[in-house]
Each structure stands twice: as structure tokens, then as C-alpha cells.
Structure 1
Amino acid sequence: MKQAYIFDMDGTLFQTNRILGHALDDAFTFLREQERWSGETPLAKYQSIMGVPLPEVWRTLLPTHTDDERILVDQIFQGALITHIKQGHGALYPGAEATLRALKAADHPLYIASNGWNNYLAAIVTYYELDRWLDGVYSIEDVASLQKSDLVRHILSNHQLTQATVVGDRISDFMAARTNQLPAIGCRFDFSNEAELAEADYIVSDLRDILKLSLASLSK
């Protein structure tokens, strides 16, 4: 079997930044209407922690709120994200389709390992018809620990993969690769930062650059 590629979704294939602020504002507008939030929508704070599981996001953004309130806000947020996706407000990164198409044409198995929920991922895959190239889409919901390292391990086990490369933009992606003894390609995109990218084995500024990397150099 040829080397597989395990892609992150947000900030790697999908330009989440195009819809994140709008969806987050919808959620916090609800809180303001309920008189449970009085400040600005904490978009910058969310952007700084992109890549962590959503329960951790809400504990960080809403430290004094109840679990029930966080669950409700997450439901509003998820609904808003999906609505914006279906309305075409998001976008894939330049070269995403070309890269997936080329890798698939070369018989590389392709998977998604995302901290996003299943319904959210399904909306992206459906809208952009990514199932033309993907062999599997996995959400952090698929592992009890809600840890990206365990999700990647789950994919490796499910598909009996012996060679794979993780492609992502945040430290959770690179640590998932390292934990599973896989190489990591870091994407220098919207949510990335240089300190975290230093943990990747390779760094690209365009997804199409992945096609230029030597497969031999990615094998460990």
C-alpha cells in the first residue's frame, strides 16, 4: 500500500477563518440576549487556541458558565458554522482540490482527522464534494479521549496503515504525528504560528508543495 496522508481540516484544507467570526458572534449574541455575556465576542482568543477539542474551547472562552450553557452555545455555534458553509461563505485553501486530486490519482489513501464534530465535517465534505478523493473522514468524536493522537492511531488501526504522513497547522497535529511515529507536514496558514510549526518535519506555504516533497524523505 502506498503512503497515506492524514489531513487536518480547519486551517489546513478549509479556510475556517472565513466563517469563524460570524458563527462565533451568533453564539455570543445569544449569550448577550440572555444577559450571560457583556463583552466583545472573543474571536482572537478562540483563534489563539485553534486546534484544541471544542469542550476545551468552551471551558476557555466561558470559564464561569455552566456545562449546560456551554453545550447550548456549542450547538448554536455549530448550527451557524454549517449554515455559513451551505451558503458558500467558506472556502478551501488554494490548491486543496488539486493536491487531493493528484494524491488520489497516484493511489495514496487520504483521510481527515479533525477536532471538529461529525456534522460540521460532513457539511464541508458534502459542499465541496471531497468524498471524490477521501477514503475516510474522522472526527474527534470518534475517540473517547478527544485527543488527536488517539484519533490518528484509530485511523491507522482501522485501515491497517503502515506508512502515513500527518498534514496540519497546529501543535495537536504535529504531536499526533510524533506520538504515532509519523512524519508531519506543517501548513503555514491562517492559524499557524512559527513556534508550533518548528515541531513539524516539513513546512509548506501552499498545499501543492506537498506534491514536490520526496516520498522517500517522508518515510521514517
Structure 2
Amino acid sequence: MLQSLIFDMDGTLFQTDKILELSLDDAFNHLRSLNKWDTATPIDKYREIMGVPLPKVWEALLPNHSIEAREQMDAYFLQRLVENISSGKGALYPNVKEVFRFLKENHYSIYIASNGLTEYLKAIVRYYQLDQWVTETFSIEQIESLNKSDLVKSIIKKYGITNAAVVGDRLSDINAAKDNGLVAIGCNFDFAQQHELSQADIVIDDLLELITIVPQLQRL
């Protein structure tokens, strides 16, 4: 009997695309002002690796920069993301609140497990008031390995979860479900890749489909 759903944040609940390019441009403009970058903002490269922890993002985007420079960029980027979220420049995916309301009314527990940083996640949860439905939001920062499977494992352990589904758009979400014996629900949204989604147990094109799918899983 399904008890809980564990959702990814970026590309699953939150339309990261709406603030991604804006915030990345802000960050690289800052780098340009320091004379440490002189070409275009690598937005396409970021899209390719979207979903990995931010330290790995900066390794990929700034391979020739020092660790210190990457850490400074990380902090500045986070600041811009939070400010852009708090000023209403982002958006949830359609039907997030409707689905959360349905799940809560039908006694499912809702968790968020994200590769995003804690302050970034707090900004989204606060702005969209998601904490009225979400039991707890977990950041990859809480896990030394930076592995989402380990993050989901920590949620299972903390809350004594035995039956759940992980809902997300990338392979890390699917693996997090499979590695922990949970149902993997893949979201065919903006950052999804077909070869990754093919490994999910179920694939959805709209979160609203969960209202039909979850009760069916309940009966399994």
C-alpha cells in the first residue's frame, strides 16, 4: 500500500527554466565584471547537466577556474536564484497545488528530495507556501556523498517509509527509486531525456495524471 510520494524539485515541481537563464546570466555577468569570463553564458551546457549537484555544475562550466572561484560563483548564483524566486520570476509546473491537495486529503505523505541547495529550496517552498502540504524538504547538501539515492534512503529511514514512489524528471530520480525499492515515476517535462525516462516504471506528461495513477498503485 503506497504511503508516500517523494518529489524532485527542479524540472518536476518548479519550472527552473524560468529563472535559470536569468540567474545564470546574472552570475556570468558578475564573472565578466571581474574579468574572469569573456564569452557567452554557457546555458546550453547547463541544460545538458541539469539535475546534478551544483558543485559538479561548476566543475563542468568552469573547468579552468580555481575551486575558490567556483565556490564564489556558486554563492553568487544561489543569491541570484533566491532573489529571482522571491520576486516572483519563477513558476511551479501546472497542477502542483491541485495534486498536493489531493494527496494530502487522501492521507499520503509528501516529501521533496532535491539536488538543489537548502536556501534555494527554502525560497521556493516559502514563496509558493508548499509547506502546507509537504512534510519535509531535503537537500543534497544534507548527504556527504551528494548521491540522491542516499538522500532518499535517509528520508525512508527518518520517517519509517516502506512503500513510496519517487517522482522526478532525471535518471538520478529514477535510480533513487530503484536503489531503494520504490516505484519510479518519470516526468516527461522540460529537462527530461527519453533514454533516462525509459528506465522509469511509469512516465507522465502532466502531474495531474498522479491523481489517477496513485490510487491504482494503492491497490497493488
Q: 2:58 aligns to what SS in structure 1?
A: helix
Q: 1:138 aligns to what SS in structure 2?
A: strand
Per-residue deviation, 1:217: 3.8
Q: 1:213 aligns to what SS in structure 2?
A: helix
Q: 1:186 aligns to what SS in structure 2?
A: strand
Q: 2:211 aligns to what SS in structure 1?
A: helix
Distance 1:136 1:88 in 2: 23
Q: Does structure 1 conserve the Cα–Cα contact (< 8 Å) formed by 2:168 and 2:187?
A: yes
Amino acid at match of 1:139: S
Q: Does structure 2 conserve the Cα–Cα contact (< 8 Å) formed by 1:165 and 1:218?
A: no
Distance 1:219 1:131 in 2: 28
Per-residue deviation, 1:214: 5.0
Residue 38 of structure 1 pairs with residue 43 of structure 2 = no
Per-residue deviation, 1:199: 1.1
Amino acid at match of 2:206: D
In structure 1, the residue matched to 2:85 is: 85
In structure 1, the residue matched to 2:126 is: 126
Residue 155 of structure 1 pairs with residue 155 of structure 2 = yes
**Correspondence 1:30-109 to 2 at 5 A:** 30-109=30-109
Consecutive unaligned residues of structure 1, counting only runs of 5 or more, are none
**Correspondence 1:208-219 to 2 at 5 A:** 208-217=208-217
Per-residue deviation, 1:112: 0.2
Distance 2:111 2:146 in 1: 18
Consecutive unaligned residues of structure 2, counting only runs of 5 or more, are none
Could you tell me the TM-score, scaled by structure 1's length? 0.97
Percent of matched pairs sharing the same residue: 49
Instruction: Name the stretch that deviates more: 90-99 or 28-37.
Output: 28-37
Q: Does structure 1 conserve the Cα–Cα contact (< 8 Å) formed by 2:2 and 2:218?
A: no
Distance 1:100 1:36 in 2: 44
Distance 1:177 1:218 in 2: 17
Residue by residue, what CA displacement relative to the aligned partner does 1:116-139 show, whole Å, maximum 9, x if unpaired? 011000000000000010001000
Q: Does structure 1 conserve the Cα–Cα contact (< 8 Å) formed by 2:4 and 2:108?
A: yes
Residue by residue, what CA displacement relative to the aligned partner does 1:124-178 show, whole Å, maximum 9, x if unpaired? 0000000010001000011111110000000000000001100000011001111
In structure 2, the CA distance between the partners of 1:48 and 1:138, relative to structure 1 (3 Å rule), is same
Amino acid at match of 1:25: D
In structure 1, the residue matched to 2:115 is: 115
In structure 1, the residue matched to 2:168 is: 168
Moved >4 Å (runs of 4+): none
Amino acid at match of 1:170: R
Distance 2:93 2:6 in 1: 16
Residue by residue, what CA displacement relative to the aligned partner does 1:53-94 show, whole Å, maximum 9, x if unpaired? 111110000001001100100111000000110110000000
Distance 1:204 1:218 in 2: 17
Per-residue deviation, 1:29: 0.7
Distance 1:188 1:61 in 2: 25
In structure 1, the residue matched to 2:18 is: 18
Q: Does structure 1 conserve the Cα–Cα contact (< 8 Å) formed by 2:2 and 2:217?
A: no
Aligned-CA RMSD value:
1.4
In structure 2, the CA distance between the partners of 1:219 and 1:68, relative to structure 1 (3 Å rule), is farther
In structure 1, the residue matched to 2:207 is: 207
Amino acid at match of 2:122: A
In structure 1, the residue matched to 2:185 is: 185
In structure 2, the CA distance between the partners of 1:118 and 1:214, relative to structure 1 (3 Å rule), is closer
The alignment of Structure 1 onto Structure 2 pairs a total of residues equal to 220
